[in-house]
Structure 1
Amino acid sequence: MVVGPERLATEIGLDMLQRGGNAIDAAVATGFALAVSYPRAGNLGGGGFMLVHLAADDRQTLIDYRETAPAAATRDLFLDEDGEVDRERAYFSHQAAGVPGTVAGLVLAQERYGTLPLAEVLAPAIDLAEQGLEVSFALNHELNSRAERLQVNPEARRLFFRPEGGVHQVGDHWRQPELAWTLRQIAEHGSRGFYEGEVARRIVAEMEAGDGLMTMADLKGYRALERSPVRGSYRDFEVVSTPPPSSGGIHIIQILNILEGFDLQAMGHNSAAYLHHLAESMKLAYADRSRFLADPDFVAVPVAELTSKSYAQRQRSLIKPAEATPSADIAPGQVLVDESTDTTHYTVADRFGNVVSNTYTINFSFGSHIAVPGTGMLLNNEMADFAASPGQANPFGLVEHEANRVEGGKRPLSSMSPTMVFRDGQPWLATGSPGGSLIITAVLQTVLNAMAFDMNVATAAASARVHHQWLPDRLLVEQGISPDTLQLLRQMGHTVDIAERTLGRTQSIMLEKGHFLGATDTRRPGGHVAGY
């Protein structure tokens, strides 16, 4: 089974399973196909994290293919002459692009854990780009939502707009021959086909034309890494998730540890009491995120301390049963230590028992909105995920510490959180979400709904969510929470705001009694469950 944000790419993943491939083959094929059919977040020019359960070895591994800062990047890269963050440069310039990791990560996964030849796994994405696809309602909507910014860049305008003007309309036949060419270089030469040779030269030529920082040496030197996932437990469940340079896994486990000490079922799902304790736990975790999380190859991250039950017990004692603690009164916790908005997620499970949970991104929807001529690909703007000015909020409102400052070769802090839950030692639930700072709490509530409230996978995904990230001090709530509940939360001292957008978009698979149960989050159009 494959559950993803777009039908064509999800069906391509399923085709790999039907050919006899495993979950890794399907995940890699889906990832490359999404670069064609889901350009707002599917990508070659971004990065992410792939969490893999390998049934034969009964182990889990995490492939970190997060982008890195070019070697020439410096800590004051995005500060103007007055010391303020130049947001146009940080978000929408060539300097906003980190060295992409997607190709290296997907190829590494395929080479180490796939069973089919790389060229076979890439062939459907190449055909889709070369032969073209019919523009769907969802794709048309996504292009229209970013049309003004996409038109600023001549190459993006050429790629995503009709020759006579206007974005491609529903039903248009849209071909991407340059992207097909780029994919073919990867199929024929592996990672070297992207990070060296003509593709790399075209990327660097665009960097030089736009005063960017990325060089041939940066591209050639990029490496995807294999890391150990973070682990925790909630009652009888084991939770396995994403380690630094993502903050997601640590804080999901940290919040679960805090909430484990309360009787959530007795409170009732999405009751005022439950949402109060949930929000207060979120505040404590996001305060810690602001201080302790960064690239572990540059900064010592106290993973064991932050995910320990004893630390959670100390933090739990700070929560008042019926009174919100102002964020101004919350500081990062005291741990013993010496001194990563638009993303996409998909989940795969195969008949062999392997499971893949993959989240990747180019950061904003359509990244920097800058396309590289001759490649069909967009540049990311992941450099915006560094602390351009420590103490100031990033594009998602997250306040970050000196630990996440800009440095050449460093991976920016992320919130991407591909996560798996194990029951009786077997994979039971795999999920993940896009959404920037919302990712952690979207994934958290999906797994909590299943573990603590015994919801099926579709209900766990569809139930109304809330979000608090410490700063700003406000509790975002989706439509669907009772007005009486919201009033009770306000009486407790919470500043409650109705979210203008949905909070995350999970793609989940639950494995129950030999059955695959898939759920694509209906918060956005276009998602798809493919199984046989």
Structure 2
Amino acid sequence: MRKINGLLKPATMALLPLCTSLAFLPAHAQTAAPATPAAAPVVKYDLTYDIISPVMAKNGMVASEQELATQVGLDILKRGGNAIDAGVAVGFALAVVLPNAGNIGGGGFMMIHDAKTGKNVALDFREMAPAKASRDMYLDDKGNVAPGRSLYTHLAIGVPGTVAGLTHALQKYGTMKLSDVIAPAVKLAEKGYPVSPSLALILAAERDHLGQWESSKAIFFKDGRPLEAGDKLVQKDLAKSLKLIAKKGPSVFYEGEIGKKIVAEMDKHNGLITAADLKNYKVVEREPVVGNYRGYQVMSMPPPSSGGIHIIQMMNILERYPLKQYGADSAQTIHLMAEAMKLAYADRAEYLGDPDFNKVPVKGLTSRAYADELAKKINPDRATPSSEIKPGKPQPYESDQTTHFSVADKQGNLVATTYTLNLNFGSGIVATGTGITLNNEMDDFSAKPGVPNAFGLVGGEANAIGPAKRPLSSMSPTFVLKDGKPFLVTGSPGGSRIITTTMQTILNVIEHDMNVAEATITPRIHHQWAPDQLRIEKGISADTIKILQDKGQKISVQPSMGRTQTIQIKDGAFYGYSDPRNPDGRTLGF
């Protein structure tokens, strides 16, 4: 047993039964037997008591993948800031305390629910391809994808959007000054903090990745080795960059001193990003994609995220089945989810890309009529091989590493943000003199149609590389509303598995009546059409696996998927939980 979120939790991901023995019950829930055996009453159980309980608060809540960043957001809420103020503060803080994924050298998406107007905004600050980017830039002279070129070189770096996105959100929807919300991140960077055991493991695993570059080694290495657990991580150059942004705003990143250092880094190593690329970067406010599931309104990111579309598409298919009756993680529920996932990911490969360059059939993909057609392809008793699944025709219906954080305040404002460098530490390259680790998001484009990227995802022409295009993403910051009022805020890192992780979290709450803690620790599954395998976490029973195999599912038991940060708003209170798959995550409220 170990403590997660301040609560006693099992070491595995398997869900505990409500009461396995009287010893698990709190004192108030136990009825002691009297001395006379003949008069012994039946033991009474307190069925309202949850062994797995979320964090609860009345005034506001923050859930993120790093406790120090969560505390920064909570402090902002306590000072009177709204959820957007707190979310921006968390975003900058994670760039310091979660350096493998938190960033100001990457990009992402933020969903905002503005309580005053009731408006829901999908803020797109995804990276953009440089103007010199070309369709075949990652192919060798034989037309094959050159290994590593789209991942670990300066050619892998897209124009960062995080600084533009966070400052835009604060200016338009926040209430506090930029200098005030960045100040905690500056302090953490200047004074440093102890490297956690989990961060130490990531640093050790990325030794070769980071060790190629002196600017990166200067920050993350000590005495020729990666920092170890307990070592202090101090980031003086990053502190200076954050101070400049706090003082001068985003222009210093895109047109000023910081931008010039990024361009110098590119020029020195044959990178493509120019001063004009940085100056021309734009944040885009988009309309969220919206669906309905059993009376709840599901609202998520539109393209260039594929997440929102396919969450809604899969849930449209699944709503016709009595999943509650089948049970969470039963063989039938898992089989139906896997078949729906295959259909959605086949469509993802064909149709999804940057909507500013391609017509994405959003309405068709998310329509119930199209879901009706797709559902006809599902055999409830037998898996359909991926080789037999082709992208559908939605047009007629037209009428890993990443991090997520969720914030909710007392006024009803919500923030769900997923942002990324792509893989751990992105390209591994720190722009000299800035302390800023740069992304490798160009790998999220389709370098060659039909050739998988780092997450095994196959893409097509819709996601081909092109100047100023935004690469397709799976990031899925999501709200669930009930009768127009906030009900759930969630999202996850995890590359291609983000979409399925987020959907299962929502289904666990709505279909299976789980609280957010139970919904989080329940074992997850994933299928992405190609490769044709049903990935499952440990904790699914051997009997269930056997039934799935008998149905034709190709099972692969693999490491855990996703690290959700979820807040539920219910009966005037906030209930939150940070996924124990990441031991550094923490949910705090007041």
Aligned to 2:108: 48
Q: CA deviation at 1:337?
A: 6.3
Structure-1 separation of matches of 2:233 and 2:352: 42
Say whether the 8 Å CA contact 1:477–1:496 is kept in structure 2: yes
Structure-2 separation of matches of 1:149 and 1:401: 28
Structure-1 separation of matches of 2:193 and 2:394: 52
Q: Does 1:502 find its partner at 2:560?
A: yes
Distance 1:3 1:504, change over 3 A: same
Aligned to 2:571: 513
Q: CA deviation at 1:141?
A: 2.2
Structure-2 separation of matches of 1:229 and 1:338: 19
Aligned to 1:128: 188
Say whether the 8 Å CA contact 1:300–1:338 is kept in structure 2: no
Structure-2 separation of matches of 1:83 and 1:187: 46
1:350-389 matched pairs, under 5 angstroms: 350-389=409-448
Bigger Cα displacement from structure 2, 394-403 vs 246-255: 394-403
1:247-326 matched pairs, under 5 angstroms: 247-326=306-385
Q: CA deviation at 1:170?
A: 2.3
1:62-81 matched pairs, under 5 angstroms: 62-81=122-141
Amino acid aligned to 1:505:
R
RMSD across aligned positions (CA): 1.1
Q: Does 1:30 find its partner at 2:90?
A: yes
Bigger Cα displacement from structure 2, 108-117 vs 150-159: 150-159
Equivalent position SS for 2:169: helix
Q: CA deviation at 1:144?
A: 1.6
Aligned to 1:348: 407
Aligned to 2:142: 82
Structure-1 separation of matches of 2:415 and 2:328: 29
Say whether the 8 Å CA contact 2:422–2:440 is kept in structure 1: yes
Amino acid aligned to 2:562:
G
Q: CA deviation at 1:145?
A: 2.0
Which runs of 5 or more structure 1 residues have no equivalent in the other structure? none
Q: CA deviation at 1:338?
A: 12
1:424-443 matched pairs, under 5 angstroms: 424-443=483-502
Say whether the 8 Å CA contact 2:365–2:397 is kept in structure 1: no
**Which residue, out of 238, 241, 253, partners 2:297?**
238
Q: CA deviation at 1:134?
A: 2.1
Equivalent position SS for 1:243: coil
1:385-404 matched pairs, under 5 angstroms: 385-404=444-463
**Which residue, out of 100, 105, 109, partners 2:165?**
105
Say whether the 8 Å CA contact 1:244–1:294 is kept in structure 2: yes
Amino acid aligned to 1:241:
S
Identity of matched residues, % = 52
In our comparison, the structure showing a higher alpha carbon Rg is 2
TM-score, L = length of structure 1: 0.98
Which runs of 5 or more structure 2 residues have no equivalent in the other structure? 1-60
Equivalent position SS for 1:88: coil
Bigger Cα displacement from structure 2, 127-136 vs 273-282: 127-136
Say whether the 8 Å CA contact 1:359–1:417 is kept in structure 2: yes
Say whether the 8 Å CA contact 1:135–1:169 is kept in structure 2: yes
Show CA shifts across 1:407-429 (max 9, x none).
00000000000001111221111
Aligned to 2:580: 522
Say whether the 8 Å CA contact 2:364–2:397 is kept in structure 1: no
Q: CA deviation at 1:125?
A: 0.6
Say whether the 8 Å CA contact 1:42–1:360 is kept in structure 2: yes
Say whether the 8 Å CA contact 1:53–1:60 is kept in structure 2: yes
Q: CA deviation at 1:172?
A: 2.2
Equivalent position SS for 1:21: coil
Say whether the 8 Å CA contact 1:277–1:321 is kept in structure 2: yes
Equivalent position SS for 1:89: coil
TM-score, L = length of structure 2: 0.89
Structure-2 separation of matches of 1:503 and 1:170: 24
Question: How many equivalent pairs are there?
Answer: 529
Say whether the 8 Å CA contact 1:302–1:337 is kept in structure 2: no
Q: CA deviation at 1:146?
A: 1.1
Say whether the 8 Å CA contact 2:152–2:209 is kept in structure 1: no
Amino acid aligned to 1:72:
K
Amino acid aligned to 2:586:
H
Aligned to 1:483: 542
Show CA shifts across 1:189-224 (max 9, x none).
111011111111100111011110000000011011
Show CA shifts across 1:67-124 (max 9, x none).
0000000000100001011121111000000000000000000000000001111111
Q: CA deviation at 1:169?
A: 2.5
Aligned to 2:77: 17
Q: Does 1:412 find its partner at 2:471?
A: yes
Aligned to 1:220: 279
Q: CA deviation at 1:185?
A: 1.2
**Which residue, out of 32, 36, 39, partners 2:99?**
39
